[in-house]
Amino acid sequence: MAKIIGSSLSNIPWQSKPLNCTDAIWRYTNNPVIKRDAIPSSNSIFNSAIVPFENKFAGVFRCDSKSRSMDIFAGFSEDGINWSINHDPIKFEGADREILKVEYRYDPRVCFIEDRYWITWCNGYHGPTIGVGYTYDFKKFTQVENAFLPYNRNGVMFPRKIDGLYTMLSRPSDTGHTPFGDIFCSQSQDMTFWGKHRHVMSTIKTNASAWQSTKIGAGPIPIETTEGWLMIYHGVLNSCNGFVYSFGAALLEINRPWEVKYRTKPYLLSPQEYYECVGDVPNVVFPCAALTDASSGRIAIYYGCADTVTGLAFAEVDELVEYIKRNSL
Amino acid sequence: MAKIIGSSLSNIPWQSKPLNCTDAIWRYTNNPVIKRDAIPSSNSIFNSAIVPFENKFAGVFRCDSKSRSMDIFAGFSEDGINWSINHDPIKFEGADREILKVEYRYDPRVCFIEDRYWITWCNGYHGPTIGVGYTYDFKKFTQVENAFLPYNRNGVMFPRKIDGLYTMLSRPSDTGHTPFGDIFCSQSQDMTFWGKHRHVMSTIKTNASAWQSTKIGAGPIPIETTEGWLMIYHGVLNSCNGFVYSFGAALLEINRPWEVKYRTKPYLLSPQEYYECVGDVPNVVFPCAALTDASSGRIAIYYGCADTVTGLAFAEVDELVEYIKRNSL
Amino acid sequence: MAKIIGSSLSNIPWQSKPLNCTDAIWRYTNNPVIKRDAIPSSNSIFNSAIVPFENKFAGVFRCDSKSRSMDIFAGFSEDGINWSINHDPIKFEGADREILKVEYRYDPRVCFIEDRYWITWCNGYHGPTIGVGYTYDFKKFTQVENAFLPYNRNGVMFPRKIDGLYTMLSRPSDTGHTPFGDIFCSQSQDMTFWGKHRHVMSTIKTNASAWQSTKIGAGPIPIETTEGWLMIYHGVLNSCNGFVYSFGAALLEINRPWEVKYRTKPYLLSPQEYYECVGDVPNVVFPCAALTDASSGRIAIYYGCADTVTGLAFAEVDELVEYIKRNSL
Amino acid sequence: MAKIIGSSLSNIPWQSKPLNCTDAIWRYTNNPVIKRDAIPSSNSIFNSAIVPFENKFAGVFRCDSKSRSMDIFAGFSEDGINWSINHDPIKFEGADREILKVEYRYDPRVCFIEDRYWITWCNGYHGPTIGVGYTYDFKKFTQVENAFLPYNRNGVMFPRKIDGLYTMLSRPSDTGHTPFGDIFCSQSQDMTFWGKHRHVMSTIKTNASAWQSTKIGAGPIPIETTEGWLMIYHGVLNSCNGFVYSFGAALLEINRPWEVKYRTKPYLLSPQEYYECVGDVPNVVFPCAALTDASSGRIAIYYGCADTVTGLAFAEVDELVEYIKRNSL
Amino acid sequence: MAKIIGSSLSNIPWQSKPLNCTDAIWRYTNNPVIKRDAIPSSNSIFNSAIVPFENKFAGVFRCDSKSRSMDIFAGFSEDGINWSINHDPIKFEGADREILKVEYRYDPRVCFIEDRYWITWCNGYHGPTIGVGYTYDFKKFTQVENAFLPYNRNGVMFPRKIDGLYTMLSRPSDTGHTPFGDIFCSQSQDMTFWGKHRHVMSTIKTNASAWQSTKIGAGPIPIETTEGWLMIYHGVLNSCNGFVYSFGAALLEINRPWEVKYRTKPYLLSPQEYYECVGDVPNVVFPCAALTDASSGRIAIYYGCADTVTGLAFAEVDELVEYIKRNSL
Amino acid sequence: MAKIIGSSLSNIPWQSKPLNCTDAIWRYTNNPVIKRDAIPSSNSIFNSAIVPFENKFAGVFRCDSKSRSMDIFAGFSEDGINWSINHDPIKFEGADREILKVEYRYDPRVCFIEDRYWITWCNGYHGPTIGVGYTYDFKKFTQVENAFLPYNRNGVMFPRKIDGLYTMLSRPSDTGHTPFGDIFCSQSQDMTFWGKHRHVMSTIKTNASAWQSTKIGAGPIPIETTEGWLMIYHGVLNSCNGFVYSFGAALLEINRPWEVKYRTKPYLLSPQEYYECVGDVPNVVFPCAALTDASSGRIAIYYGCADTVTGLAFAEVDELVEYIKRNSL
């Protein structure tokens, strides 16, 4: 039976699976947990990252303004459900002014490694690439070098060094609404110079699993389990009326996370509720963070809905891992 | 006054026209009749074909799985409204293994001719083409040669031979989301070799009838009437936010069904209800089957809604034929 | 404090701002005010123009038929909310038959200047251009020369001559769903020959104001105020799932209206309500007319919703002008 | 027998038709007459306009620089074949600085009307439109208002007022390599305000005349003849390897030049020589000017070759007009 | 050692291989053999079909006119090199007027089977499809049913029935410059009704053989040899500056010609000579016919050059078959 | 007066500037120096890299095969003009098999640093990226990690460490014929992990320098001069008939080579000769290597012509640097 390798965290949000539900993942009944107008300037608050912080929770939130400008904001919560998000975007400090210039920032992830919270996001630097920064306290933020050359999106750190190297997943992209995209893995000794780029997984071009036929990208920080890294990821199908974003999961080798052990053929969650189907970008569920409790095996997944609001879904690790194995491509 | 030429079938689904309705077609008030999750593996059940069978009803259903793979399934119903759909897709037998390979299958139609139920569907064979098979009992299924070279969709049989030849409508297409498409008619002596290809009707490129300006395709098996073949067909408008699928109808010459006598300038039904506007492909109504009662002139039309669920709509043949004639292009 | 320069009109539609609303514009609680099927032949009634007329109100309405053909119709109302729209489209008279040929007509604006109501609309003449006509009574209509060569849309008159010249805003376009588009200003001595074309404003290509990054176009007849011409305009963002139409406002120099004094960085209204997000073209709010009361400073804005129905929103001139100045690009 | 209505001009360039040539137009044997590097800064000199001037010849030349910037230059010749082109581009004077800003300028035409030489060209003003200026002496140049809103190209004046109005042909376009385009006619009382826009002719979408299936545009100043205005125009075919520019001719009604009397089904000249097929844009012949001698009926046509050099071709008016009539669509 | 199965034909065009040539195919030194203006109306004469006829040669030629309309013409030659082509296109007779309507006709092939010469070509019938006709004498021509529904090109007959059925190769296409395309095989009992569609071969998407990565299509009538059907076919590479057409060859199973035994990894001929690289469509070699002499094993291949002229190349069957086997994918 | 900082190399190829040439760069009169068929299997030999080696010259050559597969080959020359190229592609050794898999390889550069020759090239690894390897003797080759994630092209090393770090220019790209592209600079401590990504220069979108408006990419290894790094680079203009590749040059700050001091507004060389305009990709000049003699200031530039053959051009450093400064954007 699969177990989470990590801390116990009994206060994460939780709701038991509905009685007649046969899926491996189920939605929070009070979704969306974060509304589009949760701060005065916001048009929408969606693809956002949450972590445990000082026995409570902190997060970095994508809040698109009423100018439809994309930026990231810090926020805090006692229960992971009711959030107080700062009204001003994160301001990074750092050594090199070239790096600190802000074009646009979106789709953050937050990952605690050793002593600090690393933040990665899609950062505008003559095109989208992976911005990197860190904080100890969600008050003061330091930005370091962009991890890669443009054009890249969905940079997601592993929560510990692997073989002594910082390790990041990402999805090389182009300058626009990228109609292709595989997941790659890269490593670094110092969070500045990156290399050892390995291909992790491709889209599925056949009918076997069309929900992930156009592009795929890592979601929350991978969860270490006794069965491998549990990587929840989004996949995109290109219908005649636009992209549909669903999400599934894979299990990656612990020591060589560019090797895929299992990968869901069906999606785990697809846009079906009103708040997932109707909004600024219809038909999107986009996971960016997960809270886990190693004791109980509970997982709470935060995901953007229709690029407009933030939803919450739940799973239990043993059931989910079992599902991935039984329904693998 | 137009009459249906065919069997009496008093048990088809029916609801009278609402009092203040002035349209020739009206929706069933309990739509959708088939939900997206009617079988455990299904993501959606929509463009599907229903026929009378042993005093009850049988059908071939497009059920897209939670992998978003497209396949066809048999199902049965006592009343045409409550359906029991098999949990496994149809398995065809046949003489040639090359033909039996399954890439993907979708958008079936079912047509009873002489002694058996012919099934046609969009069949993946190095691109989409028209797959052909038959059954006597909806238990055992035999597949024969694909009717045409790729790329083709919406192959729809006439319910009897015309001039001694099997006759099929189809819509030649391309490899993707085909942004063009006319209806053609083809004939065969033996359901294996096809020829005598005739153009039936084109899209309307002007403002006169823009709902059918991008592509058109035959829907249910044409209904024989005293005024010609009643062909219900879908049409597509290309808005700045994607395709909108509506449906209308035409009357074709009985003996030369590639000759169009009348054709609706207005649509008969367009996506307006929530379940037609919101779903995996927003703004789609797509008819694939009709049940008719020659005695009463009642017609029950099954149509896919938003590529997600299945709806039902009703018409009376004399009123509908009259409407087509009065509102013809 | 900004004031409207114009007539008092105490009978325009009005609702006070909701208590907890902090926006400069708020929706009418009974939206949509005009339903899609308000006349028997209509599929949708949306981007339409309303003016005060004989102490009541008249208008020119875009009613797309159930053939999805686009045309303009006259209508009348006592209160600006309940409308009686003619069942037949406007029939223009005029001297030159070449000009009177109808291909298609949509997105009208109506502007009273001196002695008559000028109507401008997107007019099909070997491609979309700006059709021009006038009426004294909304019964008899005269069409004059198209203002410009194709391809053009969103021609909007100023409500008085500027420097002795009729003055019109427009958005040069292409033959299709134009993925670019700036606002220009042109002038005429006689409403037949046009020149002195000046660029007014461009789209904003950066993250600063992405809601207006793809194309922009003037909306209602500009409102003369003590702070300049108040021009409400739509802007389009190109998401991976299609265009999103929002609207904002600018203040133009009174005597040189091609000079922009202020321009909103945030949108004033974006598609968020069901009737704005779901319909024939999802995610569209498109303003075409405004009624104003100079005494109270009240403004009532009519806007198309999802290319399907017509909505109403309200603002107060001093608050709105102040908002534009404080939130200017 | 068709005759030119105009001046005698016995010194225009001329070569008799080769003996075995059966075409209505033949090339100068020493083509190209202007090489790509005829001035020090030039990368190419091609689509250019020539007129009789003080018993000799003057012209306005499109010289693209080695920066591949597009601009127009004046030049002079004694024989129409050997040209001395200024090394600096034309500098216009004018009343309005907004108009005088230079973005880019290309494809000029020159037309003498009454007392001066009018120059029209494709002028960058927030997109391509028709720039207008004049000179008396090819030394001092005055620029007036752009004739139209963007986006437009190939503005060509008629050499006298028609019905008291200046008259210009043009081809409305888009912001890029325009894959569509018809010829329109517009009129003006004062060369500032333009109106009375009339459609002149469309592309031919069928196999009947595919050389003009993608877009068409007027070439030299129309030549007045006893059979109507002789308009030489280019047409474009879209092959799988790019556009092919050929040219043909039409006869327009003298008093209503938007009415086409005859129009060549075959091209008159297509890219076949090395200097027409190989260069910066392969497969282009693009006529911009013609010199005529009313006494002899001789016509000398200047045309750009492969967007690189300038060529010369000849015709006799009676033979050419006869050819147009006999080979008309 | 491979031998041709067929007639001896000692008078086919021939030139020995140049001394230092190491390729399996070599060009005729007097290429092009047919110039673009070989008949008065022609702009170009290229993709054309030649057969032995009454001890001499006859052919069906694609002659595009100076209107750039595409049509097919009959022609005759004593030596296969000097051709006399009719000045008027082929006029077919036939039973059904619907079939005889001419939209456009191009890229013919001619195949003698049993008692007559079958002609297939790309035929416009609401889109391109395979037109079919026959002649006994190249004077009287009869047209029968189009073989397939649109959209199809490059229909090429086998020179005898296979398993009692007429057999044709073709390349399903779309409405434009088709950027995809595999070769399929279809069969018929009567040249009217076609079926048993089998996939023959796909494009090669990898670097292994990029000259055939975009689309492929059969060329001359397949040549029966002791090693299988020798099918010469064209392949297309999509460069950043357009399509490049080369040609290679395959060996197909004699009794199941949809099974590929060998297929060249390198091209046999690619556009390298001036007349292949420069013309109406640069960089095209497109084979449509071959003459063979079973006694000597000589093969003379006719191919279109740059869509402008016709070239000739030679091979010896044993060397060519050996080359195909040694250089097979 | 600018001087080259580097070795004297008196035996590099050289021809004096022609008398009447006023350009800063001139072609070798015997171009092309390497023909397309210089090795038996080659279709074309073009974008290739040459370096001094053991008092003679060695190189890495892009030879596309007659299968149109792209690969790199080593070669040797005594005079830099007559080359002996290996008949088999380079075979790399290395520690990680994942890295050694060959998809495709093209457009190599070679750069001597400290003790070895580093080779960089466009390397297929789930999309194009920058492959890296080295050799000491052009016999044994070792491959190391790809420098970057896909998608990237034109990776060009600086010939010494800068600030203690290996430094590479590159052009992030997409999966196809990339219609955008800027030059970036990246650094590494160890040739494995890369970071400190800086933007160097963008395309020029205005008319000022249209030859470099679509994409740009570094060419030869930058040449160290007393005035900065002399970087020769290609630029692309997108004509209606495809891309045109020219080349220019820039001067970069010695210690911060991402800072551009000067950059040519005009191109230095554009495709004008037959062998540059006609070939597999018409209209391409693409520089990949330069030999320099510090004593004389001579520079010999090798460049690919029409993606088919290899040409040679010459410059003198002081004149070239002066030209760049005087003609800078």
Cite the DSSP H helix spans in chain A. Answer: 97-100, 274-277, 317-326
Shortest Cα distance, chain A CAs vs residue C329, angstroms: 10
Shortest Cα distance, chain E CAs vs residue D212, angstroms: 9
Cβ of residue D149 closer than 8 Å to a chain C Cβ: yes
Instruction: Tell me the three state secondary structure of residue A319.
Output: helix
Residue C274 pLDDT greater than 90, yes or no: yes
Cβ of residue C174 closer than 8 Å to a chain D Cβ: yes
Amino acid at D246: S
- What is the predicted pLDDT for the residue at D89? 98
What are the residues facing F223 on neighbouring strands? F230
Give CA–CA dist A261/A268, Å, rounded.
17
Q: Could you tell me the two tokens for B264?
A: 């609706």
Residue % of chain E over a pLDDT of 70: 100
Instruction: Tell me the three state secondary structure of residue E247.
Output: strand
B40–A208 C-beta distance less than 8 A: no
For range D270-280, the mean pLDDT: 98
Give CA–CA dist D110/D49, Å, rounded.
6
Give CA–CA dist A218/E258, Å, rounded.
43
Give CA–CA dist A45/A30, Å, rounded.
16
Shortest Cα distance, chain C CAs vs residue D5, angstroms: 29
Contact present, F and D (at least 3 Cβ pairs less than 8 Å): yes
A244–B280 C-beta distance less than 8 A: yes
- For all residues of chain F together, what is the average pLDDT? 97
pLDDT tens column, C242-254:
999 999 999 999 9
**Closest Cα in chain C to B245:** C280
Mutate to test the interface with A, among B36, B42, B45, B66 (most CBs of A within 10 A): B66
Give CA–CA dist F278/F32, Å, rounded.
13
**Closest Cα in chain F to D307:** F239
**Closest Cα in chain D to C97:** D198
pLDDT tens column, C27-71:
999 999 999 999 999 999 999 999 999 999 999 999 999 999 999
Cβ of residue E282 closer than 8 Å to a chain D Cβ: yes
Mutate to test the interface with A, among F129, F166, F185, F197 (most CBs of A within 10 A): F197
Q: Are D222 and D252 in contact (CB under 8 A)?
A: yes
Q: With contacts defined as CB-CB under 8 Å, which chain D residues touch E40?
A: 22
- What is the predicted pLDDT for the residue at A95? 87
pLDDT tens column, D84-131:
999 999 999 998 999 999 999 999 999 999 999 999 999 999 999 999
Residue C114 pLDDT greater than 90, yes or no: yes
CB count within 10 Å of CB B97 equals 7
Low-confidence ranges of chain B (pLDDT < 70): none
pLDDT tens column, F199-215:
999 999 999 999 999 99
Shortest Cα distance, chain D CAs vs residue C265, angstroms: 22
CB count within 10 Å of CB F53 equals 17
Q: Are D33 and D313 in contact (CB under 8 A)?
A: no
Shortest Cα distance, chain E CAs vs residue B150, angstroms: 6
CA angle B86, B89, B91 (to 5 degrees): 115
Query: Is the preceding peptide bond at F128 cis, omega within 30 degrees of 0?
Result: no
Domain boundaries of chain F, sorted by first residue: 26-326
β-pairing, A183-188 vs A166-172, is antiparallel
Cβ of residue E126 closer than 8 Å to a chain B Cβ: yes
- What is the predicted pLDDT for the residue at D95? 87
Give CA–CA dist F325/F107, Å, rounded.
29
**Dihedral pair phi/psi, residue B209, rounded to 5°:** -155, 65
Residue C95 pLDDT greater than 90, yes or no: no
F278–D124 C-beta distance less than 8 A: no
Instruction: Tell me the three state secondary structure of residue A323.
Output: helix
- For all residues of chain C together, what is the average pLDDT? 97
Instruction: Tell me the three state secondary structure of residue A322.
Output: helix
**Closest Cα in chain F to E208:** F69
- Whose tokens are 């001789």? That residue is D298
Q: With contacts defined as CB-CB under 8 Å, which chain B residues touch A244?
A: 280
Closest-CA residue to A109 (of A217, A257, A262): A217
Q: Which pTM was predicted?
A: 0.97
C210–A69 C-beta distance less than 8 A: yes
Residue E1 pLDDT greater than 90, yes or no: no
What is the DSSP track for F194-240?
A: EEEEEEEE----SGGGGGGSSEEEE-SPPEEETTEEEEEEEEEEEET
Q: Are C212 and C235 in contact (CB under 8 A)?
A: yes
Give CA–CA dist E328/E320, Å, rounded.
12
Residue F174 pLDDT greater than 90, yes or no: yes
Give CA–CA dist F86/B15, Å, rounded.
81
Report how far apart the first and last C-alpha atoms of chain A are (Å, whole number): 21
Residue C97 pLDDT greater than 90, yes or no: yes
B197–E193 C-beta distance less than 8 A: no
Shortest Cα distance, chain D CAs vs residue F283, angstroms: 7
Closest-CA residue to D77 (of D38, D109, D44, D104): D38
What are the residues facing D118 on neighbouring strands? D111, D134
- Cα B268 from chain centroid (whole Å): 15
Q: Could you tell me the two tokens for C99?
A: 């000009």
Cβ of residue A281 closer than 8 Å to a chain B Cβ: no
Cβ of residue F21 closer than 8 Å to a chain D Cβ: no
Check residue A317 and report its DSSP letter: H
Cβ of residue B270 closer than 8 Å to a chain C Cβ: yes
Domain E26-326, CATH number (from 2.115.10.20, 3.20.20.70, 3.40.462.10, 2.60.40.3120): 2.115.10.20
Give CA–CA dist D223/D6, Å, rounded.
9
Closest-CA residue to B73 (of B93, B100, B102, B48): B48
Give CA–CA dist C287/A249, Å, rounded.
44
**Dihedral pair phi/psi, residue F54, rounded to 5°:** 50, 55
Give CA–CA dist D317/D324, Å, rounded.
10
Give CA–CA dist D166/F245, Å, rounded.
43
Give CA–CA dist D55/D122, Å, rounded.
28
CB count within 10 Å of CB E165 equals 17
Q: How many CA atoms lie within 13 A of C164 on its CB side?
A: 1
Spell F254-289 as b/e; 16+ CB within 10 A means b. Answer: beebbebebbbbbbbbbbbebbbbbbbbbbbbbbbb
Give CA–CA dist D73/F164, Å, rounded.
52
For range D253-268, the mean pLDDT: 98
Cite the DSSP H helix spans in chain C. Answer: 97-100, 274-277, 317-326
Cβ of residue B176 closer than 8 Å to a chain E Cβ: no
On the 0-12 / 13-18 / 19+ scale of CB atoms within 10 A, C114 is: exposed
Amino acid at D289: A
Residue D235's pLDDT band (cuts 50, 70, 90): very high
Taking CA atoms, D310 is separated from D29, D66, D91, in Å, by 13, 17, 23
pLDDT tens column, F213-231:
999 999 999 999 999 999 9
A170–F149 C-beta distance less than 8 A: yes
What are the residues facing B231 on neighbouring strands? B250
Query: Is the preceding peptide bond at C104 cis, omega within 30 degrees of 0?
Result: no
By Cβ distance, the residue of F68, F279, F282 closest to E237 is: F68
pLDDT tens column, E261-317:
999 999 999 999 999 999 999 999 999 999 999 999 999 999 999 999 999 999 999
Low-confidence ranges of chain A (pLDDT < 70): none
E197–B193 C-beta distance less than 8 A: no
On the 0-12 / 13-18 / 19+ scale of CB atoms within 10 A, D101 is: exposed
Q: With contacts defined as CB-CB under 8 Å, which chain D residues touch F242?
A: 241-242
A283–B70 C-beta distance less than 8 A: no
Q: Are E126 and B201 in contact (CB under 8 A)?
A: no
- What is the predicted pLDDT for the residue at F100? 97
Contact present, B and F (at least 3 Cβ pairs less than 8 Å): no
Greatest extent of chain A over all pairs of C-alpha atoms, in Å: 56
Q: Which long-range contacts does F90-98 make (Cβ < 8 Å, 24+ apart)?
A: F90/F60, F90/F119, F90/F133, F90/F141, F91/F141, F92/F133, F92/F141, F92/F142, F92/F143, F93/F140, F93/F141, F93/F142, F93/F143, F94/F133, F94/F142, F94/F143, F94/F144, F96/F145, F98/A198
D196–C193 C-beta distance less than 8 A: yes
**Closest Cα in chain D to F281:** D241
Check residue A209 and report its DSSP letter: G
Chain A segment 194-253 residues within 8 A of F by beta carbon are 194-199, 202
Cβ of residue A174 closer than 8 Å to a chain C Cβ: no
Closest-CA residue to B77 (of B45, B102, B29): B45
By Cβ distance, the residue of F207, F241, F274 closest to D281 is: F241
CA angle F71, F75, F79 (to 5 degrees): 140
Residue C231 pLDDT greater than 90, yes or no: yes
Closest-CA residue to B286 (of B109, B133, B147, B129): B109
Residue C118's pLDDT band (cuts 50, 70, 90): very high
Amino acid at D71: D
